[in-house]
């Protein structure tokens, strides 16, 4: 009985056969799931305290920020706190995708050197891990929402496509930064500052309605700006998001994903040499 052998020919630019690549990726979906579970177990996600800390960390952070806002402005309300918490939770989904993706290739050096598989599986696994970390925070937010007495409506279902856009954007960012880190290892050291800058420049500590028209002109340069604003309108204010903002978020997500995927796949065969 003959065994099928796949030969990978080296190249420095250009894409591999996309159809065959996607079929290999799909055939290894079980590996992605198991690899993600292993990463979660390593981070103590399977323990009660591990899952509790995933919720307490952003929840306590939102409490500290809310207290600072209350001290600075002298007034605030439950809607403001719900906005801060909801946007912070979604921001952590993308931030964890970046944090997990940045070293997903370099930390998998032995696996890459000894096994033939689509390397993009590693940043995909990092995004899956970020999603599993996000799910408990989503449940806690809705409990908090009930406690704050905020209204509900069918418009909140807009949160589902917004979440899918956030996942696509987080995956694109994870793929892009994992490839960049192969060539420029210092990007991992700068990443916490990049994430912190995005936190302060995104509508998390403030709402878009509080911005002056002059500052709103710069929102298009932040890929998370329209996304978080749409998320807040859907899950906090229970209203339909602005279609222009939603479309802008989708365009950002698709562009980041396509650019990152092309950059990654065109350099994938070079990873073994760089590592």
Does a structural domain hold residue 191? yes
Q: Summarize pLDDT for 178-203 with one digit per residue, the tens.
A: 999 888 888 888 898 999 888 888 88
- Average pLDDT (154-164) is 94
- Within a domain: 12: no
Distance of CA 24 to the CA centre of its chain: 24
In angstroms, rounded to a whole number, what is the distance separating the alpha carbons of residues 107 and 102? 9
Cα-Cα-Cα-Cα torsion 262, 267, 268, 271, nearest 10 degrees, comes to -150
* Average pLDDT of span 235-244: 90
Alpha-carbon distance 144 to 82, whole Å?
8
Tell me whether residue 165 is in a domain.
yes
Q: Is the pLDDT of residue 76 over 70?
A: no
Examine residue 55 and state whether it is found in any structural domain, yes or no: yes
Residue for token pair 């998320």: 231
Contacts of 46 (CB under 8 A, 6+ apart): 40
Q: What is the mean pLDDT of residues 85-104?
A: 90
> Could you tell me the residue range of the domain that residue 268 belongs to?
18-274
User: Has residue 202 been placed in a domain?
Assistant: yes
Please tell me the distance from the alpha carbon of residue 189 to that of residue 196, in angstroms, as a whole number. Answer: 13
pLDDT band at 161 (very low <50, low <70, confident <90, very high): very high
Look at residue 35 and tell me if it is in a domain.
yes
Instruction: Report the alpha-carbon distance of residue 157 to residue 165 in Å, rounded.
Output: 14
pLDDT band at 35; cut points 50, 70, 90: confident
pLDDT value for 11: 47
What is the pLDDT, as a whole number, of residue 167? 95
pLDDT at 187: 87
DSSP state, 246? Answer: H
Structural domains counted in the chain: 1
The pLDDT, as a whole number, for residue 233 is 92
Is residue 9 a part of any domain in this protein? no
Asked if residue 102 is part of any domain, the answer here is yes
Of residues 267 and 6, more confidence is placed in 267
Q: What share of the chain is helix, strand, coil (3-state, %, to 5)?
A: 75, 0, 25
Q: What percent of the chain has pLDDT over 70?
A: 85
Residue 39 in tokens: 């990463």
pLDDT, tens digit (0-9, with 9 covering 90-100), for 100-138: 888 888 877 777 777 777 888 889 999 998 998 888 888
Measured in Å, how far apart are the chain's first and last C-alpha atoms? 36
User: What is the reported pLDDT for 21?
Assistant: 85
Per-residue pLDDT for 175 more than 90? yes
Q: Is the pLDDT of residue 209 over 60?
A: yes
């Amino acid at each position: 009985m003959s065994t099928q052998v796949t030969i990978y020919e080296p190249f420095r630019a250009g894409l591999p056969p996309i159809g065959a690549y996607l079929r290999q990726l799909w055939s290894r979906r079980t590996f992605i799931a198991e690899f993600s579970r292993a990463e979660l177990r390593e981070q103590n996600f399977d323990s009660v305290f591990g899952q509790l800390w995933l919720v307490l960390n952003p929840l306590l952070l939102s409490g500290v920020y809310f207290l600072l806002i209350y001290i600075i402005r002298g007034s605030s309300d439950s809607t403001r706190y719900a906005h801060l918490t909801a946007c912070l939770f979604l921001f952590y989904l993308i931030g964890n995708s970046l944090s997990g993706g940045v070293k997903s290739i370099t930390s998998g050096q032995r696996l890459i050197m000894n096994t033939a598989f689509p390397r993009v599986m590693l940043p995909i696994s990092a995004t899956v891990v970020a999603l599993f970390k996000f799910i408990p925070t989503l449940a806690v937010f809705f409990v908090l929402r009930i406690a704050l007495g905020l209204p509900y409506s069918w418009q909140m279902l807009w949160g589902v496509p917004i979440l899918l856009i956030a996942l696509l954007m987080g995956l694109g960012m994870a793929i892009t930064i994992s490839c960049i880190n192969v060539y420029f290892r210092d990007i991992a050291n700068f990443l916490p500052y990049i994430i912190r800058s995005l936190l302060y420049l995104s509508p998390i500590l403030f709402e878009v309605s509080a911005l002056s028209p002059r500052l709103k002109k710069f929102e298009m340069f932040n890929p998370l700006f329209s996304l978080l604003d749409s998320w807040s309108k859907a899950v906090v204010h229970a209203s339909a998001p602005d279609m222009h903002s939603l479309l802008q978020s989708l365009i950002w997500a698709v562009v980041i994903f396509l650019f990152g995927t092309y950059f990654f796949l065109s350099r994938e065969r070079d990873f073994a040499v760089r590592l």
